[in-house]
A and B are shown apart, each in its own frame.
Chain A
Amino acid sequence: MTQPLDYLKETPSQTAGPYVHIGLTPNGCGIEGVYAGDLGAAMVNDRTLGQRITITGRVLDGTGTPLKDALVEIWQADAEGLYNSPSELRGTADPNFTGWGRSACDGTTGEFRFETVKPGRVPFKDGRKMAPHVSLWIVARGINLGLNTRMYFGDEQAANAEDPVLMRIEHRVRFPTLIAAVDGSACRFDIHLQGEKETVFFDI
């Protein structure tokens, strides 16, 4: 016999369901007056440092149909590559940047949208720099456990080519699924849940 290894077990996930908006974006779904505003709607203010960008995209199912009931959250470093988190020990992030955003996909077009800044580079565990990236978490009806992925920038080819996480994708043909199309300040990033163009999802 040994001592018991008495770790607790993580609470299992369940789908967010079709009415996730009631809890997470109530003002956006017509439940007004409970909270002043929807959390995660504004990531920047007038004093936020860095290059302003807009991230738009859709989440598509196995038939190519956009999900109209998905909800996407993003988490990213500030323009200097610092996270606005108590676990960030390398310095103090831009106090005018939350680093976290939440967007419900549009009920008609399925589009999500974030007004943010382009993130700086963050070190990988061994000190190499990762390419600028945004972490995404996708929940919806039919998704039993939130899906994690990353968005990289199409205009950062040199940094992307040396990114330690992208380099771990064995099938290079899947590499483009994590790269947003960049046109000026507009970043376009569609997420394919399954099929030929299936986005790379992570077990983080």
Chain B
Amino acid sequence: MTDIPNRKPETGAFFPRDRSRHPPALTPGYKTSVLRAPQKALLSLDGTLSEITGPVFGHSLLGEFDNDLIHNFAKPGDSAIGERIIVHGRVLDERGRPVPGALLEFWQANAGGRYRHKKESYLAPLDPNFGGCGRTITDDDGAYAFRTIKPGPYPWPNGVNDWRPAHIHFSVFGHGFAQRLITQMYFEGDPMIWKCPIVMTIPDRAAIEQLIAPLDWNNTIPMDARAYKFDIVLRGRRSTLFENRLEGN
């Protein structure tokens, strides 16, 4: 936990979450949500210090291969099998400002759709050179990048024949605990996106499209790896102009 470079700390409360673009808690098409969805209304709370503050992580946290899933679990000299890709983008807030110092953590299945997890029983094999986790921290412009192999789709016990589209899970920290977000990135052109009960928990088509990363030909490296661009938007925060100063401030 360390300073974010060259910026005055912001202390305004966050814009209210537009819950019409997030999935509601109860989405029966995604069966597990039925017993895990609160049934009572949420209690709304304009951010106090407990919500507008949050942990910030320094770049010193990162190891050399933390953002390279092709190699960070591989034996020396080996690499993971699959379509080599770069995923990059920026983390912005709703005001369009870059969010520097944002910790991103990501996880995914291997090229065959198999996760390295003891509760996973899909018959597709593990790749001995692929672990499936990575992390990075955005730079002063809010930019990030990592390289990996494109994950495969995989079946899951929801409906009789449900398959997840290829996806990468993202966990994002902004600067306040109220900005905490977990989401999933999908890939341009995947026909399975529109069949997936988890994707379809999101009621707004434009919101779903915000999770689909386009192929980025400009950043594709010849003879090496294709690129996908995935920008992430975190909640904006109010200016503190004209607001009462917090006690002790």
Contact = CB atoms under 8 A, between A and B. Distances in A.
A19 B107 contact: yes
Main secondary structure of the interface of B (DSSP, over half): loop
B36 A89 contact: no
B183 A14 contact: yes
A145 to B, nearest CB: 5
In this complex, the member of B21, B32, B171, B199 whose beta carbon has the largest number of chain A beta carbons within 10 angstroms is B32
B56 interface: yes
Interface stretch (A48-56, A109-117, A153-161, A192-200): A192-200
Interface string B10-48: 110011111101111101001011111111101111111
B96 A31 contact: no
A116 to B, nearest CB: 13
B171 A24 contact: yes
B52 A87 contact: yes
A34 B232 CA distance: 25
B87 to A, nearest CB: 14
A14 B198 contact: yes
Interface string B199-221: 10110101110110000000000
Interface in A1-32: 6-24, 26, 29-31
A87 B175 contact: yes
Contact of A15 (B16, B18, B30, B116): B30
7 contacts: A8-B94, A9-B21, A15-B182, A21-B117, A39-B61, A123-B49, A203-B42
Interface of B: 1, 3-4, 9-11, 14-19, 21-25, 27, 30, 32-40, 42-57, 61, 63, 65-66, 72-73, 92-96, 105-107, 115-120, 131-133, 135, 169, 171-172, 175-178, 180-184, 198-199, 201-202, 204, 206-208, 210-211, 232-236, 244, 246-249
